[in-house]
Amino acid sequence: ETGVTQSPTHLIKTRGQQVTLRCSSQSGHNTVSWYQQALGQGPQFIFQYYREEENGRGNFPPRFSGLQFPNYSSELNVNALELDDSALYLCASSPDPDYGYTFGSGTRLTVV
Amino acid sequence: GQQLNQSPQSMFIQEGEDVSMNCTSSSIFNTWLWYKQDPGEGPVLLIALYKAGELTSNGRLTAQFGITRKDSFLNISASIPSDVGIYFCAGQVGDYKLSFGAGTTVTVRA
């Protein structure tokens, strides 16, 4: 139990559809980041939120968007799904990024 | 963007052996982190390094932050079967994104 809970654990979507992935962090974890991990690769940074504002973004198109809520939960939304979006999506949160992040177990998204 | 080269890509260990892996970058990082990922799980933080030249241990794990701030290594001493998994290095600049290597897969030698 890491204190960061992601749902659902697995998901299958059709190309062109939209998907929302959810993350619940520990109380006090004001910073949340989302990563995409393709099979056999390291996680790639998508974006980060601090106190409900996006404060950093990686090389992902605008169809990847997010929200962070006051109750330490957050969402990753992906529109117009493509086959290459198939990956493990990881949420990571921290009370202070200088001292590392705690990762959830991820959501395995398959786009067919 | 920042690219981390992690080596070896994979290794086989025999119980009791010491193993070593490293990570190099073309960019400077302020923080180096080592994570382990088991199948179906997210990465779990093993060791965090905050100063160039720093050598830090966590049980049988030892990691160092290179003095150039562009590299780091991780050693595992007296390996045991539960050490199998994928080990990732990650560099951090400022207060947000982590840049990960592609991972070193550790497998037990039969």
Using the beta-carbon criterion (under 8 Å), do B33 and A100 form an inter-chain contact?
yes
Q: Which candidate in A33, A103, A107, A108 is best for mutational testing of the B interface (most B CBs within 10 A)?
A: A103
B87 interaction partners in chain A (CB closer than 8 Å): none
Residue pairs between chains A and B whose CB atoms are closer than 8 Å? 63
pLDDT in tens, A51-110: 999 999 999 999 999 999 999 999 999 999 999 999 999 999 998 877 789 999 999 999
Nearest to B102 among A35, A41, A104 (CB): A41
Rounded distance between C-alpha atoms, residue B12 and residue B6, angstroms: 16
CA distance B100 to chain A (A): 5
From residue B13, alpha-carbon distances to A45, B6, B10, B44 in Å are: 31, 17, 10, 21
Q: Which residue of B has its CA nearest to A6?
A: B42
Q: Which residues contact A63 (CB under 8 A, 6 or more apart)?
A: A78, A79, A80
Rounded distance between C-alpha atoms, residue A52 and residue A67, angstroms: 7
pLDDT at A46: 97
Q: Report the Cα B83 to chain-centroid distance in Å.
A: 13
Residues in chain B: 110
pLDDT in tens, A9-62: 999 999 999 999 999 998 889 999 999 999 999 999 999 999 999 999 999 999
Using the beta-carbon criterion (under 8 Å), do A4 and B96 form an inter-chain contact?
no
pLDDT at B80: 93
B34 interaction partners in chain A (CB closer than 8 Å): none
